[in-house]
Amino acid sequence: MSGPLTDTQQRTLLELARTQVEMLIRSGEQLRPAKDDPRLDDTLRAHGAAFVTLRKGGMLRGCIGSVLPHEPLYENVVHNAVQACHDPRFEGFRIQSGELGQIDIEISVMGPPTPVSGPEDVKVGRDGVILTLGGHRGLFLPQVPVEQGWDRQTYLQQLGRKAGLDTDAYKDPRAILETFTAQVFGEGRS
């Protein structure tokens, strides 16, 4: 994707995600946007990667996404809206139709991941981080440490925990750290 999305493009992606979440929760149906939908410009049809985050009253209810682009951005957002509704962390506590008016949708359109030489290259408030070590992988979006009030060390320690590793895993010489940026926008209902 070249450059940031416009307000109109952001609204289109949020409308698609909202429609998908409501359809899925109410009827189990999946949205099939028409390829000739006039809201879908060349940027939204270009391959892109995004995360869709669902919150209720500021509390996480689902967050699923793609790191690398493999399909048109608008399709990726719709697909990940479905997956966020089925986030395995909330098995047995799925979003119900009566909650839909209280659910906020946030979309993070991903920039490409870039390997960094070490933890000192990670900047809280700018960088999302991916930690890979020995078949384990963890990812935090750039807004997570800011929302949690974490400094860089805590950010990287929590990332190790999320990856199912020791909190000092990021210090392992075999660990691969990658950073990425994201354009983050949402409905802002909370």
Mean pLDDT of 8-20: 97
In this structure, how many other beta carbons lie within 10 angstroms of the beta carbon of residue 82?
17
Under a CB-based contact definition with an 8 Å cutoff, are residues 72 and 44 in contact? yes
Mean pLDDT of 148-157: 97
Query: Which carries the bigger pLDDT value, residue 91 or residue 132?
Result: 132
Instruction: Give the span between the Cα atoms of 107 and 11, in whole angstroms.
Output: 10
- Which pTM was predicted? 0.91
Residues 6+ apart with CB under 8 A from 14: 105, 107, 185, 186, 187
**What is the model's pLDDT at position 1?**
53
**What is the model's pLDDT at position 151?**
97
Could you give phi then psi for residue 128, rounded to 5 degrees?
-85, 155
**What is the model's pLDDT at position 190?**
43
Q: Torsion-angle region of residue 57: left (phi > 0), alpha (psi -120 to 50) or beta?
A: left
Question: For residue 2, is pLDDT > 80?
Answer: no
Q: What is the pLDDT of residues 24-83, one digit of tens each?
A: 999 999 888 888 899 999 999 999 999 999 999 989 999 999 999 999 999 999 999 999
- The CATH number of 7-110 is 3.30.700.20
Instruction: Give the span between the Cα atoms of 136 and 115, in whole angstroms.
Output: 16
Q: Identify the CATH class of 114-181.
A: alpha beta
Among the residue ranges 61-70, 94-103, 176-185, the one predicted with the least confidence is 94-103
To 10 degrees, what angle do helices 73-85 and 7-27 make? 40
Cα diameter, the chain: 50
**What is the model's pLDDT at position 58?**
87
Domain spans of the chain, in order of start:
7-110, 114-181
Closest CA to 184 of 106, 122, 90, 102: 106
| 114-181 has the same fold as 7-110 | no
Mean pLDDT of 129-147: 95
